[in-house]
Each structure stands twice: as structure tokens, then as C-alpha cells.
Chains A and B, each alone.
Chain A
């Protein structure tokens, strides 16, 4: 099995596209980092933090007074104002410049890109063997089809994890080179009390939650790619579902069934923000639904790959 993965890994890195993905991922972190730094040095102002806090507080108060807002928005603005008042009263300064943590939490958005690139590989790793005809060479070896497919699936996830490590590593590195670590407390309101925010913990948690979408998209693309042997269909469909997923869920929201499709659950970040796509779902329930679909996608991929007559 190790040799098979070694084979897949070798093929992967001999394709130009793979290196392009890696370069893109790195550039998408470094370039915005540089731009942020440049903007900051250019616009450096001599204002005290108290002035900034006062300004922002007034801004929020104006909005609260002038516009019609939803209850959730009103609550969040009021919380913000409460935190600002707390800062002024207790002399807790606000961070005026971008910090390493800020930058890394910005870069954590590029897990989207990690997912996209992994989906591209997952979609094409089986179908490309069919379209180039190399599948005939691959399957006339003393290796069962199940093992061949397993090696490919493992390779896809290895690649995904590698991209994730690159994403975190490069953003940490860029962050520490360009920005300073935070010295002032980040505050948030929990159950009506103002507490210090666990910045690093939150960042790790948001990465963890993003893995839900990452794993489901990858498995879905792998499933479509190996069943229909079309990488473009697999990439297209996966992207469509991740962009339009929310809309589909809201269209179906009247029906009970919406709770049992995976796109309702794959965005686990809904538990972080609290804006649930559907009422009445919980984290354990979501994880169960996702696990069931993950198994379904994988089993169908294997069945179709093992039973198929190869005519490519």
C-alpha cells in the first residue's frame, strides 16, 4: 500500500498544476499580508486608543438609533458598545495595528482555497486515469482494485493535509515577520459578562470546524469523479453545492427532509456564529449526518470502481 501511495504521490508532483496550486496558496497569503502592512505604515496616525474607541462607539450608537435592525444585530451592537464602555472604564486599551493573530485569522479564510484545490485533485485522480487510458495499465497488475482506489483516496487526503499545513505555516511565518504579536487583551461578551477572548483557541476551533466542509467536499468530489469519470462534472457539482448550498437549504427549509441532507450540516461554522441554517439542529446531530453521508459517498465510490468494466 505504501508503494501505491508513493506512486500516486510521484504522479501528483510531476504535474505542473500541483505546483501552481501550492504557489497560488502561498501567494494568496503573502501578497495580502504585504499590502496590509504597507497600508498600515502609510496611514499611521497619532491618535490615542481612547479616541478610536469613542469614535467607533459613536458610530455604532448612530446606527442603533437611526436604522431598523433585526434583533440579532441589535444584540451584537449593544454587546460591542458594552465592551467599549468597559474598556474606557477599566483602562483596557484596544489594539490599533494588525496583529499576528488578526492576520492568521484572516489567512484561515483561505482554507476555502485548500478545499478547492483538494477537490480538484479528488475529482481528477480517478477520472484522469480513465481519460488518458492509463487505467488499463493500472488495473492489470497484481493489486486489487480496492487497494488502488484506497491509495488514491489516501493520497487526496495527504495532499489536503499538506496544503492545510502550508496554509497555517505560511500564514504564521508571514504574520510573525510582518506584524507584532498582540499585547492587549481581546474582549468578548459571554453570557452577559465581559471576558478575555481566547484568540488562539478560537482560531484552532475555526480551523477544526472548517474541516467539516473540507472533508465532505473532498469525499463528494471523489465520489462523483470516480463514479462518472468526469473531473469537470465533479468539480462543477461540488463548487455549485458549496456556493448554492445555503440557497438550496433555504428552499427546502419547509420540509423535514432538509435536516437529513449533508449540505445543511457541512458548514459547521454555523455553530460558531450561531446563525443556524435550520432551526433545531445540534452539533452531535450534524456530525452524525455528515458521518453517514461520508460513508455513503465512499461506499458508492468503491462499489462502482470495483464492479465496472473498463472500456477506456
Chain B
């Protein structure tokens, strides 16, 4: 069936900010979908509040709305744009829930918008636990197999407690309905755990519904990715097997594609069930994901769940197979059938087939528990990982070891030296699934565990266990060999050993191993991901390395630029860096280069095979990058390697690449050092006459103490060479300084700790700028809403700055230029300043693309990353101005007075984490970055823009109701005016006794409520925490102070997270919120596309 002719415009809903369970994969899928729809001649209208996405680039859609993804705002967009259709299946659970809610409110009917890609009935059948059980029963009646785990649906705690008996007792699984990434689900082994998990689940579920289920812990877990078209053709794109058995969320499991331990009969049974389910659910067109559990003892199959939409797994499956699920889903949604869609990779065969893999794909999750020391690190059915790495090898061992080193985290690779520890203890530890359990298992094997013991302890399939033994045996052979002979080295490489691992085992340096290996001619070849196991010729250069015989890299004539990506998403290094890499690829391709992308993150646009001319899906270690450079240098000329756009990962390789003779373009490794090294950077500042807060570096406690004594507490301490404020802390006294130095693992003689004076009450400012050696282009100046001391990644900020004047901008420009020049930047630089009193301090400079580049680019309608890529390869800012990539005149520091105001707000993952007692983790912001993503609010005035940023990040600000205020002493003064404003807007104030007293003295009436520590009152008066839990509070203002009085605040803030009540933890945020509430109450909040904003801005510039 050809394309429908009755649809001329489509609204696509994105997934909003990056959160755990809903990450960059939806940028990848949404970008693909928008491009396809646009290429088909449709008008594409997009809404997504996340500026750090490729999909919100103005050229991807016809009208791009960076507005909150809430039914209210989406309705405004529909009313304005009047699209014919709405495609909700490519923006994760956020898009699906928004679409359903608009359907239920009658909005879609009102405006005559057709839901395409999924119908409401199918979405409900797939997502609603009870309906889905019915689907599985119907399937069993039809084809004779497939069943659900025994379960009961519960709507109250009473139902929950009674339900356990009907399932035959503990343990039971709790799964809330309609939440993403399995939020709120978990295993309960007793009533206490059950009450806690089910209580939170009932709250989290928009329908106050949880499912209790029999435990299938330890079973084998599988997923199938399916696609269906309007003619009822169905294909299974990929099978995925979880290395970690049932009990760990698939997003947190190491997963393998294709399935490794199924016979054809068992696999075909899953396939039959999957196809019957997609038909029974009635997914008209598009993709869906179905999860299965199989009892390893007898093969009993249980259908766990389905997602009637594109998911994280489908992004993984697309990268793993070369079959672009989202792209094809978009085509199917507008009427095409699978046989009408060509396979991009072969070009001559259709998409109505099932990919065959002649390689193995392993995905490994990246966690960030180190950012949440209080959180329980046990892996459960609630997803906790913040990113993932994928690796491809010609066998499992190769792919696994590549995936582990792609994680780029200390200890993620297997180690075979040192004492492994006690076997029984290791086996006992391995029972509990955690980040790095696979490494514990490897140590247990080294300590003498048998295959049976490992299986007993972990339930990891014996085939996988044997593969771990295989790796360990090779390590033994490497250790025992008299010398590294070619056969042994080749064998080790075939099983994925890195040069670094071999070096460690042999007690050599990594570069020595590499030299020996090269001398012996042991080098990788590059194979193609081609969807068809080489049955047909592939047109798409999508490569992975393997130690095999024949390489498939074709020669080329155009000079290549190799762009190093940013690896797995982690807190502090996320999708923003992928955005910059993708932009570089587009810009350099337009400039006539052959672009070569290297990355290992399957969630990203950069690892889409049609983003760059060539894609190497490879780990970003020195070894892997050097081999790619070697392979490409055999294929044709190399113009250079770009390291400044992928964050700290490629930046950290710059010097070593240069030392190995690789041409690093843009900012030189020496310049990078000048910015990263405290001493060198201090000299740059001194020469430019710029002040930095008093500081020093130390490698011991005594040294740090001496510095702190001199500059005075509080001090800001952190390890050098880190991203995202990892390990950064404000230290108020000597005791804490001592324990900080003792605990820190990042400090060594070559990596000292930095001790800075902490600037209380300073305004923090972020600047993104381009420098070509002669001219500075100030990309944008962002004023933080929170004061200095809160990591810039976690702080809200406004662009243009709302309180800085022309003189301040002038000073910022001069300082930025002096630093860019002094360091020797060629491309992007990001500098953080603090304005304390009237002094502008330089906090730090990063000679690379920053986290804020996409935000700045969108706020000012200038493609900074593209410009940076061109500057790296020698184009000047003047030339870029002339060709129109940069504005003819002026820059981000000279925005017109009526330029729109953009507010960036960070999104925190608090609700994902619990401590070992099952309580939430504290939500206070600090110098260590902990946000996973961001949203942007854009409007003509600050208040509205701020209100939009809050609506996009956490849900709308309340416009009336009860506000609870409890602030630290130092904040009491600055709280008075915003509090008065709240009252003026009709809020009823509640406060703890101390705050209430201050308010009353200033003539503001506030009801005193009991602190948690005071307990319930004699007349049954509830504490603030109880009131929050009872839904009696609409807005919370709670600022923490030091460590004193912390517990009360902690309980208040965790209750706020649990109930989803907006909680402001700084007075500055309160002041901004009041402006937002003011804007909302005036009721004139409209929507405007980025294209309209840009038109306005460009007109004002000229």
C-alpha cells in the first residue's frame, strides 16, 4: 500500500529531558522519524522540551516547539498548527502518555487530529497489566502456548497485602502501571518491603494501580523486537538475550544479540507468541518490544510485558542489526508496507525480512552510584543505569570485553592480577546483582569457583559462565607463556583482550605490548554490519573491529576527518556532546570532507549509520582509536582527528594520540593541558591579569590543610581532570577535609586535589565562545539562577543574562578572549566565572565543546558546534561570518534587546534511587553534578520562560494553594520579598516556627506547622512530612544549611519527590518561581516555534 495522501502534516512528540529509563535513544528515533516524514513531503511539527537533541535542530522539522510536553502546551501547539495527524510512538512513554491524555480529554477529536502509528485501544492493551494478561490468554487459546506469570491487580494497600496469599507467598514482584523504565517496581521478600514498594508504586502509577506477580527470579530473560505494517506483515528484527537472569531490569542487564542459548524450536515459539501478541494487541503499524522469561529447567515460557512503541531496546536492536526501526516505523505510520520500504544497507532487498547477524553484540550498562553514595546499589526491576555502551565482535568474548572497556570506568575491565579474594565470599557477593557483578564472578572464577558454583550463585546461563571461564583460561595462558608468541597474542585478541589487559598480566607497559603486537603483525580487521550475514553486498560502511582475516574498509580519495564521540552517557557527559559531534559531522561533510565517526553509544544519533560517511562502532580507548586511524590511513588521506567535541573522553586521548603521530586538529593537546592543569592555567590567568579564587593544589592532607588554613574555610575541593564535578565538595572544616582526602580514590601524585576558596553569595556565569586565533565569537553568556557552589550542570540558567549589564558583558568578553588566546584555543571554549561583589573571578576553563553548546546554539540561533568543527580545520570566524554560518555582525554577547529569553533547567534523578532502608536519597544540590538531563523554556520574558522550564522539567508550577517555607538562617532575609509575592498571588503560607516568626515580623501571615522532629501534636496536628504525603502542600521551599538540621530537610525533600510536589532548594529559585507564577497567573503564556524565534532574532540582528 503506498503512502497515504490524506495526511499533509504530522505532529511528532519527543521524549523531553534525559532521565533514567528514557534517554538519548528517543532523540535518535525521533530524529530518524522527522527526517523521513519531511523527506516524504509532509509538514513536520515537533514538540520537545530538550534542547540538547538533534531532533530539535531547526532544520530537522518544519516547526520546532521547544515547549513543555504537557497536554496543555501540546494543545496550544495543535490549536496553532492544526496538524492532520499525531505520531506518539517515537517519544517514549512521555509521548505516549501525553497522547493518551489528550485523547481522553477530547483534544484530538476537537481538532480532528488522527493518532497514527498506534491506536488508543492498542496502547491500552499493551500497557495496562490487566488487559495485557487478557491478550496473553487469548494468544494461548489461539496458538497453544505463552502465558503470563500468575498475578493480581491491586488498587490499594489492602488489595496488595491480600494478593500475596493468592500468589502463594513471598517473594513477589510489584509493578506499577504506566510508568517508564519500570519506575517504582521491585521485589518484595516480606511485608515491610511490600508496603514500601507497593506504596510508592501506587503513588507513581497515574492510574493508582500496581500488579503483584509470582517470582520468576533467576529465569532466562529474552526480548524480541517486532514490526508490523497495515497489511499485517510482521517481522522480528532482533532477538536479545539477557546475560543477567530475571530480576534485573533489562536496561540494567548486560544483554546479548542475537539470543545465544535457544534452539530453533524454542526461538520459533517465542516468535510465534510475539507475532500473535502484536496482532492481538492491534498495533497497526510500527514497532513493539516483547519480553519473555524462560524457566531454565523445563523451558516454560512466560510473557512478561510489551511496549507498543519504539523503545530503548529497539534503538539497541537497530544499532545491533543495521535495521533502522524508527525510520521504518515512521514510513509504516504514513501508509507504506514493509515490502515497499527498501533495506538501506543492501539497497536492493526490501525491509520485509529478518536480519541475520554474523557477529555478536553485547550491551553493558553504565551506572552512576558513585554520585549517590547513599543509594542502594542492588539492581532490581527498577532501572538505575544512566547510560550504556554497545560493542560488536565476531564472538561473545570479543564483544563482551570490548563492551566492558567501552564503559570507560575504572575496574570495568576484567583484571587478572592480584589476589582475587576468598572464593566463598566472592560467590556470596555475586548472589546480589550489582554494578560490576560480572567482575566479582571473574574473581570468583580466579579464586577457584567451579562452573556449577557460579551458576548456583548467579543463575547466569552455563554457556555464558563457560565463556567467562574461557576468558580466564586465556589470561592464565598469557601469564604462563614464556614470551608473547603470535599465536597466543592473536588468540587473546580474538577473545577481546586489550593491550592494557595483556600488559597488566605480563607486567609490561601498554605501549610495549602494542609495539610487540604490531611487530608480530597482529592487527584487527574491520567487518561490516550488513543485516544479512554477507548474503548481499552492503552499501553502508558501518564497521566494527575483529581479529579475523579479511578487512572490508574500502579505499577513498576524499580527505577524512575522524570525529571521536563521547562514549556511554553518564552524569556530566551526556547527549549534549553527541549533539556537537553530529553537528561537526554534518558541517565537515558539507565542507567536502569524508566524515568518520567513532563511538560506542547505541542510544545516539552519532551512531546512526547515515549520520557520517563512515561509522566505526568501537570503544574510545587509545588502542581502539589508534587502530582505526591506522585502518583509515591505509584507505586514504586523513585531514585530522577531532577531539574537542565529545567531552572529556576524547579530550583525555589528545596528548597520547599526538604522541603516536596522529594529527589532532583544533585546540592542541598542549593548549588542552594549559587549561586543565592548575599551574599552567594559573600562569595564563596571571599573564592576562585575571583573578581566580585563591587556590592551591596538594597531594596529601597536610598540603591541603595548609592551603585551606591560608585561604580560609569553606573551601571547594576536587580532583583534577574530572568532568561533572566528580568528587567535588564544599568543605566547611578540617575534619571533613581530612576524611575527604582519605576517601578520595582519584588523588595521586600525578593527579593532585585542587583546593579553592569557595565564593559565598556569588553569581555564577557560563560563557561559550569560539576562537580562531585572532577573533573571538562570544557564543552566549548564561547567568545561573542558583548561586556559585552548585554545579553548573545542575543549576538553572538564563540566556541572555537577566541581571548583567553591558559593562559586565564587556568584562566577560575581554576575559574570555584573554583566556582563549592565552590557552591557545582553536574552536570552542567554555569558561565559568563567578561575580562576587564587583570582582569577576575565573573558576575554570574547558577548551572543548561544553554541555551548554546545544542550549546556547538554540537560544541564539547560531550553530556553534558546526562553526567549531570548521575552525578546527582552519576556517576563520571571518570566513564563517562571510558564508553565513555565523551572523555577519555581532555575536551572542550583543543580542538585541527584545531577543527571547531562554531558561535551562536541570532534571534530577532522585526518584530512581533508594537507600538500603528503602528511603529516598536527598535532593540537595551541590558542587558535584547529579542531573541526568535538561529542558529549555523559551519566551519573551524571563518569568514565562522560567515557568515553562519548570513545567518541562518537573511539572507545572502551582498558581495557587499552600506553600510551605523553611529556609536556612542565611536565606531568611532574601526570602521575605518572594514570600510576600506568593501571598499576593493568593498562596496560603505554612512555615516551621523559626521561619514563620521571621515572616510574621515582616507582616506576612504564615501558619506554623510541626517539624518532623517534633512529631505529631497532642491534638493530632500533623508534621510537615505527613502533610506533604497527604497532598496538603502544593509548593515547597526548603534550603539546606551545612550539615546541621539536615535530617528534617531531608525528610521534607524526599517526601516532595515521592509526591511530585515542586520543591525549591535555593532562594534564587524561589525568586524565579515567583516571576513564573506571576506570568502564569497573567494567563498569557503562548507557544512559538524555534523557527519563528530565529526569524525574529535574525531580523533584529540585521
The reply to whether chain A is a binding partner of chain B is: no
